[in-house]
Copies of this chain bind each other. A is one copy, B any other.
């Protein structure tokens, strides 16, 4: 039971080679004769050898570790948990096969000392790469803190696309335009838009997409159809109430995120407005909730997993010495049509 874990030396002596050769095999280094490699691999299998990560890290001066930093909105009990889980999954998908570990680092940017704290945490951990999720990736203090650790990092959807940083984003603007034209194609002429928190850059781009879409569909921009939310469900409700007060109500509402769309649906349900009969509602993000709401929500699926996976992979490859990418990599989202949108009702 308590048999000592096999070390590289055990493997070496069983295989009749030096520990260095075992190390080579384990690390897939070149210049190992095939027959030798097989011998070593057999020994590894026999002894159930697993390299000791601490020893590896110590000797090689790099931790096989990626940190995923995301907004700790837990305090607010928002449904953003789905986001986080998806991002974690993507990151794990990149890390696991490469023998990297993933450390999760929630960070509450609302605290004044968030940057400092974060830096401290990161410095202590000494990861080989840091992935910063939106919306933290839009915040100067956070990005500064990450930068200050002097560790390679990737920003998700910061929207800057600078030359010294690698960045992974999705096509918020384009896909939002597409959603708008989709609504227009259902016959909607009065399509309202609920803006989100403008500090969240990706969310901001969705508004641009909405405008693009209107133009493309040949619909006029109407000021009264655009209202300001703050990404929360509550703000979605307020915005909905505001829109429903209009003399000439919109027949479709496109919210910059699903939470706000859910808020719209709550109010509609309370007011007896039928969806999608009287009103089409579309969101953005495709959180788990979107499928559960009744009716289920038409929304935009963000490629969150792929984004963090790409980000993490880039960092891992970078830590292997491969020159790091910079600039922007865009991973397209997709529209998920569900029950909450439908053709405009032909009424009197």
Interface residues of A (CB under 8 A from B): 1-2, 5, 48, 50, 52-55, 57-58, 63, 72, 74, 77-79, 81-82, 84-86, 88-89, 92, 96, 99, 101-104, 106, 121, 123-126, 150, 233, 259, 262, 265-266, 269-270, 288-289, 291-292, 294
Contact A292 B50 (CB under 8 A): no
Where chain A touches its partner, the secondary structure class is helix
Contact B79 A85 (CB under 8 A): no
A88 to B106, CA, bound (A): 10
Partner of A54, one of B57, B79, B89, B265: B57
Contact A2 B150 (CB under 8 A): yes
Chain B residues whose C-beta falls within 8 Å of the C-beta of A72 in the assembled complex: 89
Most chain B CB within a 10 A radius of its CB, from A88, A106, A233 = A88
A311 to B6, CA, bound (A): 30
Chain B residues whose C-beta falls within 8 Å of the C-beta of A55 in the assembled complex: 54, 58
Number of copies: 2
Contact A101 B125 (CB under 8 A): yes
Smallest distance from the beta carbon of A19 to chain B beta carbons, Å? 16
A279 to B81, CA, bound (A): 30
Contact B292 A270 (CB under 8 A): no
Chain B residues whose C-beta falls within 8 Å of the C-beta of A2 in the assembled complex: 150
Closest to A268 in B: B294
Contact B126 A52 (CB under 8 A): yes
Partner of A288, one of B50, B57, B78, B102: B78
A305 to B107, CA, bound (A): 17
